[in-house]
Amino acid sequence: MKNILIIISFLAISCSDGIVSECETDLSNIVINSNFTSIQKNIFNKKCATSGCHTGTFAAAGLDLSEGNAYKNIVGVKSTLNLMYIEPGNSSNSYLFKRVSSQNISEVMPPTGRLNQKYIDTLKLWIENGAPNN
């Protein structure tokens, strides 16, 4: 029940503040879409690995986010700043989340421009739900 309360609270704050323009009203749809498969397909494949930055042997910062490699390279793995890339259950202490949600243009990832807020919210929800490999 605790996870459901977190989800409802998070979504209510995001939607009521106008942060997400396409707020879902069906919570089951949100939970299904905030899974690792969706994050890999819609964020890592399109914004991180496809550009050539975070893929292969010479991936930027040594972080390969390509399909089949991303999960094992980020969940529970320490970044160069001693934070985990993804700390399951704690988005505010997850380095990767800090970078994609940063308000500082020189820190935000991807460097080509901030992700759509819908993707940032999806990533946050997935992390807060324990960052399962689903």
Region 1-22 average pLDDT: 42
Residue 10 banded pLDDT, cuts 50, 70, 90: very low
- What pLDDT shows up at residue 59? 93
For residue 33, pLDDT over 80 is answered with no
Q: What is the CA radius of gyration of the chain?
A: 14
> Which residue has better confidence, 93 or 22?
93
Q: Report yes or no on whether pTM surpasses 0.95.
A: no
Write down the domain spans for the chain.
2-128
